[in-house]
Amino acid sequence: MTLKNIFLSLLFFASNAWGQVRYIDYPSPFHPTLGSSGMVVSQNQASSDIGVEILNMGGNAIDAAVAVGFSLATTLPRAGNLGGGGFMLIYLSDEQKTIAVDFRSSAPKGISKDDFLFLKNNYDQRRYGYKASGVPGTVAGLLQTHERYGKLSLKKILQPVIAQASKGILVSYDLNQAIGSAHQINLDEESKKIYYQNESPVIEHAVMQRPDLVWTFREIARNGEDAFYKGSIAKKIVKAMQQNGGYITREDLEDYKPRFAEPIQTTYRNHKVLAHPPPAGGAAVLLEGLNILENFKTDEMGPNSASFLHLFAEALQRGHMDRSRYMGDPQFYDVPIEKIISKERGSSLAKKIDYQKVTPPESLNPDSLLVEGENTTHYSIIDKDGNVVSNTYTLGYSFGSGVTIPGTGILLDNQMNNFAYQHGNPEVIDRSASIGNKFEPGKRPMSTMTPIIVFDTNNELKLITGSPGGALIPAAVLRVVTGVIDFNLNLGEATMLPRLHKDWPYKNLRLEKGFSKDTLKILQSYGHELEESKTMGSTQSILISSKGKEGFADLRRPNAGVAIQID
């Protein structure tokens, strides 16, 4: 071989090797899952897979949402639920219409003044056990939404859900640890029987079969919503309540109704952002935060720059200020939501933000609004026709009240803890004294759950997301929205930006790990009192981009996953 041929061979080899390196190199370490048809993103891969199974049967996004919602009771029992409630947004592609569904748990109607005083003065009694539970709304919310907008029969939708509970799931490390950290499970014999073996949490990799949930699912498949609120399941709930001093009655169950309404919305840099109306206080924080941030140019800021993070924290603080006082159930309190999410309110609050100085919480007064004119789970679904579900639901705490209704597998929420029991106390200014969220029988407590749907500048569907995390939810969702819109990040990058949270009337700025020391020093120089935080939220999102549909399950909590439909 001549010297020339050797040189050409080496050149070819080098160029080919370089081509291979370039081929496997990616612009980001966070890779969204790409798809061109239906997609489900939830906090458990097995439940996401069931959602796609429903889509493959010919079901739409609403059908899949029902299956995923029921499946999570098996795969993610600490948050997936039949005994809790939530908020859901539905987008119907053919009608180009978005509907909000409120299936939040409600306070039992028969609670007396003495009962109220008991709950007010007994913190643990409103967190754990039978007295802690509000009337569950999940089953009514999912099934009435399915009756209006679904395609497949309920029996067909629940077949794979029943099969999953019957076969059982492998206990994950996360589930084993969650059981061990929820001490209220030990307070309830039925819950202990399910989640403990030999006085210890069910071990990792064990098969957890759920014959109790199988019975419940079958009753609902046969008799629909009536099974839960009037029939066989209702009888078990009422009996257990009577035997254990709980407040939920037969009348409470029979009278429960989900509420269908129009979403609330704002625009952010010409994108339309739709969220759930009150009592979804987190939605108000998000929309007000966007309205404040819109007043600042972020083009030359980075998503992790001290300048942007400072503005982000200041906007969040003001959003939480307004929800701390004036957010509640609109059937009991005239929530000034239009003022809270108005552009005028956002502009007025933005004008008082100093670019390089923190605003002391005591200088912020929620009454200025009237002067001017953590264990939850979320899933996002889109079907091949563009119909969408963005759903967040909760038991309250991890494993809720700790109570399982005997024979049903149904864990109950602890939403009685979510009312403002300090209302009327002049020494308290935070949300525990909120006029909008004071306790009243039959009322639905304010919640920070924040499912959203975003449309782009051409009014085309762009983003579906939401998160668990209690008061941290608005910050988690806001971080994803600004990451996508302000900084043009892909969905994985926007999701995995380190998060921050600033509440009111508290001084601390909570931050996840991942920010540079230089950035933290600058934030401290602005006057922020920094507090290192554990991970915040777990967004489950779908982005419609030039590449198609991008799904990304937040890496902050294990076992979440994206499932795609293959045409």
Cis peptide before 336 (omega within 30 of 0): no
User: Side by side, which strands form the sheet with 97-103?
Assistant: 259-261, 97-103, 85-92, 388-396, 375-382, 39-42, 561-564
Q: Which of 550, 451, 488, 567 is nearest to 41 (CA)?
A: 550
Q: Residue 229 phi/psi, 5° resolution? A: -105, -15
For CA atoms 25, 567, 91, 557, give the dihedral sign: negative
Q: Which of 451, 441, 282 is nearest to 380 (CA)?
A: 451
Q: Could you give the CA distance from residue 519 to residue 90 in angstroms, rounded to a whole number? A: 39
Task: Look at the block and give the residue holding tokens 């789970």.
Answer: 377
Q: Could you give the CA distance from residue 549 to residue 478 in angstroms, rounded to a whole number? A: 20
CA-to-CA separations, 244 to 130, 188, 238, in angstroms, rounded: 6, 11, 10
Catalytic residue among 33, 145, 216, 376: 376
457 a catalytic residue: no
Phi-psi region of 403 (alpha: psi -120 to 50; beta: other; left: phi over 0): beta
Q: Which helix (H) or strand (E) holds 389?
A: strand 388-396
565: Cα separation from own chain's centroid? 23
Q: Which residue numbers are catalytic?
A: 376
